[in-house]
Amino acid sequence: MEGFREVHEDLLVAYRLPVFTKRAQRATVAHPKFYFFDAGVYRSLRPTGPLDRPSEIDGAALEGLVAQHLRAWIAYTPEAHELFYW
């Protein structure tokens, strides 16, 4: 599974957001979040089952869309910023 993620990151199809940690010396329990480069790609690739609610799918897609816009804003601003999740 790790190779799958690395190939997608190398092809610029996906990216990972690291966990925000206030103190660097503590070990983090959570793993980085994995996002596709576009919320539409996520929606088309995600399998849906009979028990899935549309709000669950839309919430994750909206989260990816916000991350996508924040990454674009960071890329275009002259100041140095980093994006994390909490």
Domain ranges of the chain: 2-76
| pLDDT of the residue at 77 | 93
Contacts of 18 (CB under 8 A, 6+ apart): 32, 84, 85
Residue with tokens 């329990």: 29
The answer to whether the CB of 17 falls within 8 A of the CB of 63 is: no
User: What does pLDDT average to in each consecutive run of 10 residues of the chain (86 residues)?
Assistant: 75 82 65 82 79 82 88 92 87
Q: What angle do CA 64, 76, 33 make, to 5 degrees?
A: 25
Q: Are residues 57 and 48 in contact, defined by beta-carbon separation less than 8 angstroms?
A: yes
15 within 8 A of 2, measured Cβ to Cβ:
no
Q: What is the pLDDT of residue 23?
A: 67
- Placement of tokens 């799918």 in the chain: 57
